[in-house]
Amino acid sequence: MSTAFFFDELCLWHSTGLAAGVFPVGGWVQPPSGAGHAESPDSKRRLKSLMDVSGLTSRLDVRSARPATRGEILAVHEEAYIDALKAMSDSGGGDAGQNAPFGPGSFEIASLSAGLAIEAVDSVVSGDFANAYALTRPPGHHCLRDLGMGFCLLANIPIAIEAAIARRKLTRIAVIDWDVHHGNGTEAIFYDRPEVLTISLHQEHCFPPGPSGLAAHRGTGPGQGFNLNIPLPAGAGEAAYLHALEAIVGPAVAEYRPELIVVANGMDANALDPLARMLLSAESFRKMTEFVKDLAAGLCDGRLVMIHEGGYSEAYVPFCGHAVVASLAGCDTEVADPMRELFELQQPGEAATRFHRSWIDDLRRELGVG
């Protein structure tokens, strides 16, 4: 079984409502390069291009998918929200809620993005592939049932999970979200559900603003204890992330014993990202991917799906994403990270590393893990 890579060019045509010169984006007018909004298509397009020229793409099973159906979307989102989103999309675009602008036709593209996530999950659960990556856009992990947020229009991962529960009768799924921003949407959707363990590693108080992503938020009702937040201090580097995975994520997921692991692969914790203040490198993301691969191999026969989320450094995200996909597929290429030596020199020193480790160990005890 090989690695499946779910991708569709149309997802790169989702716009944030900006214009290409004098032409409004939409229809046959492609969003321009460098359009000025953080959630531009460029980081994703450059990732796919890097995979193509390195030869990595040719070693994957690349496929598109059908859009998510209205029924699949309504399994997660409220009907009034979906109807309003569709109407705005048909009439030229708007804002889906809080910082979620979009242009004409984006409802259909968001449905396709959710469809890529659905098929990626199903392809692994069905046994067709060992693992899979879905290059989804627009992203989804901030989206609530009734409100878009933080560039997200539809909750891609929850929609895919609900489809898998309905189609494949799964009862235990673990979501590991290492996007630098709190995965508040995924958390909220499953906050009272024991069949999904949600874990978010994120920069403390980065986004959403306010009391989001606190360690004290553990779930409610039947979902009590099935939500874990790991807020990390700004400036955390590779050692902190790996320790958090080893000390908290690994033991929590092992105790839960999922049938499938889904990773919300946001790469905005990289050291060049304009929307966060962390210090990860492409090599960090490779190591993190190896960790979850090993975790999946020991717990759920290797069933692992990675869904693309954030990451806004157009030049550097492609190297992080390439490292993730290559690691997922067990492939070596000649791609060399031009920033690796510099980022190794910029990692936190001994005192900061001790502080980060102590921070994580305190969180582990507060969460009662291990």
Q: Give the integer Cα–Cα distance in Å for 89 and 97.
A: 13
Q: Give the integer Cα–Cα distance in Å for 214 and 229.
A: 6
The yes-or-no verdict on residue 32 having pLDDT over 70 is no
Model pLDDT, residue 40: 86
Residue 299 amino acid letter: L
pLDDT tens digits, one per residue of 89-116: 999 999 999 999 999 999 999 999 999 9
pLDDT tens digits, one per residue of 36-56: 688 889 999 999 999 999 999
Q: What is the mean pLDDT of residues 329-350?
A: 97
> Which are the contacts of 180, defined by CB distance < 8 A and separation ≥ 6?
202, 203, 206, 266, 268, 269, 273, 275, 276, 278, 310
The yes-or-no verdict on residue 33 having pLDDT over 50 is yes
What count of Cα atoms within 13 Å lies in the side-chain half-sphere of residue 21?
A: 3
pLDDT tens digits, one per residue of 58-79: 999 999 999 999 999 999 999 9
- pTM of full prediction above 0.75: yes
Model pLDDT, residue 35: 52
Model pLDDT, residue 310: 97
Q: How far is CA 197 from CA 175, 242, 267, in A?
A: 6, 20, 21
- Looking up tokens 């997660």 gives 76
Q: Is there a catalytic annotation at residue 142?
A: yes
The yes-or-no verdict on residue 30 having pLDDT over 80 is no
Model pLDDT, residue 23: 57
Which of 12, 134, 127 shows the shortest CA–CA distance to 65?
A: 134
Strand arrangement of the beta sheet that strand 61-63 belongs to = 61-63, 3-6, 131-134, 304-308, 260-265, 173-177, 196-203, 227-232
Burial 342-360 (b: 16+ CB within 10 A, else e): ebeeebbeeebbeebeebb
Which of 110, 11, 131 shows the shortest CA–CA distance to 61?
A: 131
Which of 1, 6, 261 shows the shortest CA–CA distance to 115?
A: 6
Model pLDDT, residue 17: 74
Set 14, 77, 141, 142: catalytic member: 142
Domain ranges of the chain: 3-11+39-367
pLDDT tens digits, one per residue of 3-23: 999 999 999 999 887 655 545
Residues 134, 116: contact at Cβ < 8 Å? yes
Residues 178, 269: contact at Cβ < 8 Å? yes
Model pLDDT, residue 22: 47
Is 3-11+39-367 in CATH node 3.40.800.20? yes
Model pLDDT, residue 27: 79
The yes-or-no verdict on residue 157 having pLDDT over 70 is yes
pLDDT tens digits, one per residue of 285-327: 999 999 999 999 999 999 999 999 999 999 999 999 999 999 9
